[in-house]
A and B are shown apart, each in its own frame.
Chain A
Amino acid sequence: MSESDITLYRLQACPFCERVVRKLDEYDLDYHSRFVEPMHSDRDVVKRLSGKRTVPAIVDENTGVTMSESANIVAYLERTYGDEGTAGGVA
């Protein structure tokens, strides 16, 4: 919809996904949400991207990064978009 370059694969009401959402909001980053199935075995779209069926998973076109696991994603966002970030990618 928007020109956002970040896509978040998420599951409704998943606390680990909300943790990533909070971090995206904290840094005022636009993102697309794609909601997937509660049934783990039906999440082939996530598996194709990240190699795992877990959510959250994030695709960041700014950096070419695809990753899963909320702790990893939060650390990535802090590193890339936080005050201490050095990787750039913020306009």
Chain B
Amino acid sequence: MELDFEVVDLDPVDHPEEGDTAPDFTRPLVNDEFWADESLSSLCADSEQVVLVFHPMDGAFPATYIWNEIRDRAWHEQATVVGVSISTPYEHKQLLEEREIEGNHRLFSDPANGVAQQYNIDMDLDGMAGIEEPRPSVFVLDSDRTVEYAWVAEEWPDFPDYDAVEAQL
């Protein structure tokens, strides 16, 4: 059965690709107990692989779906897994708690969407004046921030290919 489900096509963008060095940034990184400024480069340096997941703001259903899936797949057992959204540290703490996300999952808070702008994956939100957020995207990085895998949504809404990400870990 064909569902009359409207998906918006997004224009192609020049985002970091496999082999590129992912832009570095520093933002508050939230865990289940506190938050502190942290740089992507230091996370990468401390880990063989980092999975960087840009997702819609906390509370939106895609954020919930994405984190339920990542939690259930336990990527954190093989890599450092971090999210990025425009939500505040307080909202990130609540997301970690509500989704029962444990283990080494942490969330960067980027309310001004500057990280998405650095990655060229920023997107205005129709009907929410003055608010922009990242396109849903996943980057798998090595310890030098070299991109091993990149996926950026080309329609909205869209979800990561979880199996493809997992194949990289």
Residues of A within 8 A of B (CB): 1, 9, 32-37, 43-45
Given A1-B26, A1-B42: A33 and B33 within 8 A (CB)?
no
Residues of B within 8 A of A (CB): 26, 28, 33-39, 42, 89, 93
Given A1-B26, A1-B42: A36 and B34 within 8 A (CB)?
yes
Pull 19 A–B residue pairs with CB atoms less than 8 Å apart, ordered by A.
A1-B26, A1-B36, A1-B38, A1-B39, A1-B42, A32-B36, A32-B37, A33-B36, A33-B37, A34-B34, A34-B35, A34-B36, A35-B28, A35-B35, A35-B36, A36-B33, A37-B93, A43-B33, A44-B33
* Cβ contact within 8 Å between B37 and A1: yes
| CA of A35 to CA of B35, assembled, Å | 5
From DSSP, what is the main secondary structure of chain A's interface residues? mixed
Contacts of A1 in B (CB 8 A): 26, 36-39, 42
Shortest distance from the beta carbon of A82 to any chain B beta carbon, whole Å:
26
* Cβ contact within 8 Å between B89 and A35: yes
* Cβ contact within 8 Å between A9 and B38: no
Shortest distance from the beta carbon of A26 to any chain B beta carbon, whole Å:
21
| CA of A35 to CA of B34, assembled, Å | 5
With A1-B37, A45-B33 given, can you name 11 additional A-B contacts, CB distance below 8 Å? A1-B38, A1-B39, A33-B36, A34-B36, A35-B28, A35-B34, A35-B35, A35-B36, A36-B33, A37-B93, A45-B34
| CA of A37 to CA of B92, assembled, Å | 12
Residue of A nearest to B28 (CB): A35
| CA of A36 to CA of B39, assembled, Å | 19
| CA of A36 to CA of B26, assembled, Å | 19
Residue of A nearest to B35 (CB): A35
Residue with the greatest number of chain A CB neighbours at <10 A, chosen from B33, B37, B89, B93: B33
| CA of A37 to CA of B94, assembled, Å | 11
Contacts of B93 in A (CB 8 A): 37
Contacts of B26 in A (CB 8 A): 1
Shortest distance from the beta carbon of B104 to any chain A beta carbon, whole Å:
16
| CA of A1 to CA of B35, assembled, Å | 13
Contacts of A35 in B (CB 8 A): 28, 34-36, 89
| CA of A43 to CA of B93, assembled, Å | 12
